[in-house]
Amino acid sequence: MSSLFKKSLVATSLSLLAVQAHSAGFQVSETSVSGLGRAFAGEAAIADNAAVGARNAAALTRFNTTAFSGGLSIIDPDVHADVTESSSPGYAQGATALDAKDIAPTEFVPNIHIIQPIDDKLAVGFSAFSNFGLSTDYPKDFYAGSVAGSTELVTMNFNPNIAYQLNDQWSIGAGISAVYADAELKRQAGPLFVAIPALDTASDQTAKLTGDGWGFGWNIGTLWELDENNRFGLTYRSQTDVTLDGKFTDGTGAKTGTPGSTVDGELELNLPEIIEFSGFHQLNQQIAVHYSAMYTGWDSFKELKATGSGCSVTGGECFKKDEGWDNSWRYALGATYTMGDHWAFRAGYAYDESPVSAEKRTLSIPDSDRQWWSLGATYTANENLSIDAGFAFLDGDQVDGSEKLTDSSAIEGSLGDSTVDFSAGGDAYIYGLQLNYLF
């Protein structure tokens, strides 16, 4: 892949997101702005615009004309982390920053969808969106830089779908996903500079890992329309394994034998499977309720491990960080109120379980349970054009954790079994606009 194409793809990708600014772990929910306004409750069943293609392929059959949706979400997080205690001798020297503010940057997250009916039973569609992404960026002189540093993951899912209506009540759909991922990880010395002669300051870079690559998965879904006012959706999106090819820079020489050397490496990223069940009920002409339960198979995310023949000192292992996450659930409930021919208002609440247990929590992904509080509106200009606006406040728990300072980004044993205790947490505000058009 040419460098220009890679840069263009990343520039238009959908998921450079702050770790506390979206769904639990590093899962992304922002596939539509209308969904944002209801905390993504009922997404696999509502099918109010073309963005449903990202959640349930079977719902494409509800459209009898070409449909387009394109949206943009702005994520404004406020995430912080503080070192509360350490067993390292470098801690007593007080030579580095012990707290970090605004470690998650503001980001812009687009999405695009199109649905094309073929006949009264068959429809095809295409969606470009993201299910996963994160970004944390600590100050270079942060005390725990050897395990915090900066971590970025961008993924983009190119997802064509096809759907078929079996009868008046049942539709089925399926699709394939081509997932592009781009990752960069940096680590600084932190307290290691007091133990490793080759390091001069806490800001010295001990490791840098970059890479990108493609993986392929699939999705299936079904839609049961009990009647015009009541329907249910059930979807499955497969695990996707992405092999990232890139470079590893060894600031200390612990892996390659030469400080500052750069070698080829690769990392396999296991993106988990997703199962979602949704319901939608139109109670009367004005009021509808909707809900969802989403399961994410995070137990596939066992480790981050980069390998390469150039890391000869450690038998080909350039970087390794154990994760060992648990499977998690997300629950959402929402309602929509339609006022006349032009306006609809919605609200939603969601509870997002973290897949990271307290003993597995790290500074690079300081994940926690969170609650969503969402509001949204749709203005229908005419029978073809509508505009969605959405807002969500994400309330993340304040959490504590403990992590060894000498992960595989530095010389193992330089500080013995030194650990750092930390506290992390934060909130986020998400704003979105989306245009929908029926041709």
Residue-wise pLDDT for 352-400, tens only, equals 988 877 777 777 676 778 899 999 999 999 999 999 999 999 987 777 7
pLDDT in tens, 228-254: 999 999 999 999 999 999 988 888 788
Q: How far apart, in whole angstroms, are the C-alpha atoms of residue 40 and residue 31?
A: 9
Per-state percent for the chain, helix, strand, coil, to nearest 5: 10, 55, 35
Q: Is residue 319 predicted with pLDDT exceeding 60? A: yes
**Burial letters for 296-310: b for 16+ Cβ neighbours within 10 Å, e otherwise?**
bbbebbeebbbbbeb
Dihedral angle computed from the Cα positions of residues 188, 191, 195 and 199, in that order, rounded to the nearest 10 degrees: 30
The span from the first CA to the last CA of the chain, in angstroms, equals 35
State yes or no: pLDDT of 2 exceeds 50.
no
Give the DSSP H/E element, type plus range, for residue 35: helix 33-36
Per-residue pLDDT band at 274 (split at 50, 70, 90): very high
Asked whether the predicted pLDDT for residue 23 surpasses 60, the reply is: no
For residue 312, pLDDT beyond 90? no
Distance CA 309, CA 72 (A): 42
CA 276 – CA 324 distance, rounded (Å)? 23
Structure tokens at 224: 């049961």
Which phi and psi (to 5°) does residue 90 adopt? -70, -20
Task: Output the CA–CA distances (angstroms, integers) from residue 246 to 141, 212, 349, in the order listed.
Answer: 26, 6, 40
Query: Is pTM, for the whole model, over 0.75?
Result: yes
pLDDT at residue 150 in the model = 83
* pLDDT value at 14 more than 50: no
**One-letter amino acid of 81:** A
Inform me whether the pLDDT recorded for 184 exceeds 50. Answer: yes
- When pLDDT is cut at 50, 70 and 90, the band that residue 277 belongs to is very high
Pick the closest to residue 346 from 415, 432, 234 (CA basis). 432
Give the residue among 188, 180, 237 at the shortest CA–CA distance from 57: 237
Q: Give the per-residue pLDDT at 21.
A: 39
pLDDT of residue 343 exceeding 80, the answer is: yes
Question: pLDDT above 70 covers what percent of the chain?
Answer: 85
Residue appearing with tokens 């394939």: 176
CA distance 178 to 367: 27
Q: What band does 11 get if pLDDT is binned at 50, 70 and 90?
A: very low
CA distances to 147, 248, 290, 413 from 252, rounded to whole Å, are: 15, 12, 54, 13
For strands 122-129 and 370-380, give the pairing: unpaired
Mean pLDDT of the chain, nearest integer: 84
Distance of CA 176 to the CA centre of its chain: 19
> What single DSSP character describes residue 27?
B
Q: What angle do CA 19, 23, 28 make, to 5 degrees?
A: 85
pLDDT at 259: 83
Confidence category of residue 8, pLDDT binned at 50, 70, 90: very low
Residues 6+ apart with CB under 8 A from 284: none
pLDDT for residue 161: 98
For 41-100, what is each residue's pLDDT tens digit? 999 999 999 999 999 999 999 999 999 999 998 888 887 777 777 666 555 555 467 777
Q: How far is CA 152 from CA 17, 67, 133, 155, in A?
A: 8, 33, 8, 10
pLDDT-derived band at 300 (thresholds 50, 70, 90) equals confident
> Distance between CA atoms of 422 and 148, rounded to whole angstroms?
11
> Which pLDDT score is estimated for 147?
74
Q: How many CB atoms lie within 10 A of CB 175?
A: 24
pLDDT value of position 90: 57
Tell me which of 163 and 417 has the higher pLDDT: 163
pLDDT for 363 equals 72
Q: Checking phi first, is residue 40 left (phi over 0); if not, alpha (psi -120 to 50) or beta? A: left
pLDDT at 131 (0 to 100): 80
Report whether pLDDT(122) > 70. yes
Find the range with the poorest average confidence among 38-47, 123-132, 256-265, 346-355: 256-265
Q: Label residue 149 by pLDDT band (50, 70, 90).
A: confident
Instruction: Return the minimum-mean-pLDDT range out of 10-14, 64-68, 224-228.
Output: 10-14
- Classify residue 332 by its DSSP letter: E
Comparing 15-24, 84-93, 304-313, the range with the smallest average pLDDT is: 15-24
For the segment 329-351, the average pLDDT, to the nearest whole number, is 96
Q: What is the pLDDT of residue 30?
A: 80
Q: How far is CA 376 from the centre of its chain?
A: 22
Q: How far apart are CA 205 and CA 146, in angstroms?
A: 9
